[in-house]
Amino acid sequence: MFKYGKEDSCPHDRYLTFTEAASLLGSGNHTRIHKLVIKGDLPAYSIPLTKKLRVKKSELLSLFSAIKKKEEPIVVKDLINNAKFLSQQ
């Protein structure tokens, strides 16, 4: 069985709920992921037979690693503040 959140051990790309995505980044607050989606910095997907939108794990980690390469402390709220800057590059 695979682990979720910070200890996600799934080797394949998968669709995460906003809560799972926030947990993976170290913040249990799904509204921060929602803000990234609303701003257009992180794409969200509708999956059949579910009501909640999802984000791809690989896209979330790409956004996370792009900010990490800037050598700033990684805080989830920094994702929101810096995502627009990264999308313009």
Burial 47-72 (b: 16+ CB within 10 A, else e): eeeeeebbbbbebbbebbebbeeeee
pLDDT of the residue at 55: 94
Give the pLDDT band (50/70/90) at residue 70: low
- Check whether 4 has a pLDDT greater than 70: no
Domain spanning 5-87 has what CATH number?
Answer: 1.10.1660
Q: Is it the case that residue 35 has pLDDT exceeding 70?
A: yes
CB 22 within 8 A of CB 28: yes
Q: What is the per-residue pLDDT for 69?
A: 66
Question: What is the per-residue pLDDT for 38?
Answer: 92
The domain limits of the chain are 5-87
